[in-house]
Amino acid sequence: MPRPTVVILCPKEFKFTDHAASVERPFLADVADVETVWVDFNAPFPAAAAAADALILWHGPHLGADVVARMPRCRAIIRNGVGFDTVDTAAAAQAGIPVCNVPDYGTEEVADHAIALTLALYRQLFPLDAEAKRLGWKIDVAPKMRRLRTQTFGLVGLGRIGTATALRAKALGFRTVFFDPYAPTGTHKAVGVERVGSLAELLAQADTLSIHCPLTAETRGFIGAKEIAALKPGSFLVNTARGDIVQKAPVFAALHSGHLAGAGLDVVEAEPLRTAEEAATPNLIVTCHAAFCSPEGMIEMRRTSAQIARAAVLGQPVWNRVN
């Protein structure tokens, strides 16, 4: 019998996995051959990966039903990361292929990043930095700088990352409130924060709205013009989840009009930014879908996905299954 093959599909632009798969190989070398395939970010699914017994997938090609049908030997698709919206999970389930993710590798990093964006907005770090470097000390942004303990930090979603962010916001003195229809009863008591029963209630109260839900059919475009308008004038928006949860055009319009005092976006709809006009939007902080990044987190993620791939090729139960 030929040895199983584990294929790691990685975008050329980032090369998150080194060619030798130095982190993954120690978990797999005794049970499978390991192959790293680098692809352009939006390239079609490569034929070299179709024969994989297990596929570890970074950002990149979309795995629709047509692709799943071309993977007769595959025993697991593992998304290196939290989100799995690039995989047709229903088609994979119908084909008997588990789809797994790595939901806990970057919990601390993403929560830290959400709070960093929030603090940068509240304390106006980037405008003050620019002013100081112009050798000026007018502090024009002083009216936007607020005392945290007078503010309400509202979270959409209280999963792993949402919980970690809520605890950080609470520790900084924010009144911390969340909306999550899927969080178990009593979650707010365990975490020591407040819960509201609807998105409308959250929008009415939040001085900062921070997004921490997965991208699904339910949440795609979840925050649009109506929701932005329902936020308090002068509020902030932070998104470290998925760009397509928040509609870009109404956010940018609200920043231009001043209804939003600022936005901190690690992710944007149809990312990255497309035009110089988008990049020049006032009171906007944008980072490069990088909230998850740290050497420690990347190694943890690669180890976990390799361990799941090992279980799959050995015919053992896998974990973190999302379909």
Strand order in the sheet with 54-57: 33-39, 5-11, 54-57, 77-79, 99-101
What span, in angstroms and rounded, lies between the C-alpha atoms of 34 and 31?
Answer: 10
What span, in angstroms and rounded, lies between the C-alpha atoms of 168 and 179?
Answer: 17
| CA 158 to the chain's CA centroid | 14
- Residue 153's identity, in one-letter code, is F
Q: Count of residues for the chain?
A: 323
What span, in angstroms and rounded, lies between the C-alpha atoms of 199 and 181?
Answer: 9
For residue 182 the two structure tokens come to 């899927």
Q: Do residues 270 and 246 make contact, with C-beta atoms less than 8 angstroms apart?
A: no
Where helices occur in the chain by DSSP H, the ranges are: 25-28, 65-68, 89-94, 107-122, 125-133, 160-171, 187-191, 199-205, 225-230, 248-257, 276-279, 295-313
What span, in angstroms and rounded, lies between the C-alpha atoms of 160 and 150?
Answer: 26
Asked, as a colleague might, if the bond just before 181 is cis with ω within 30 of 0, I would say: no
Catalogue the active-site residues: 242, 271, 289
Closest listed residue to residue 121, CA positions, set 307, 263, 288, 19:
263
Closest listed residue to residue 13, CA positions, set 46, 45, 47, 58:
58
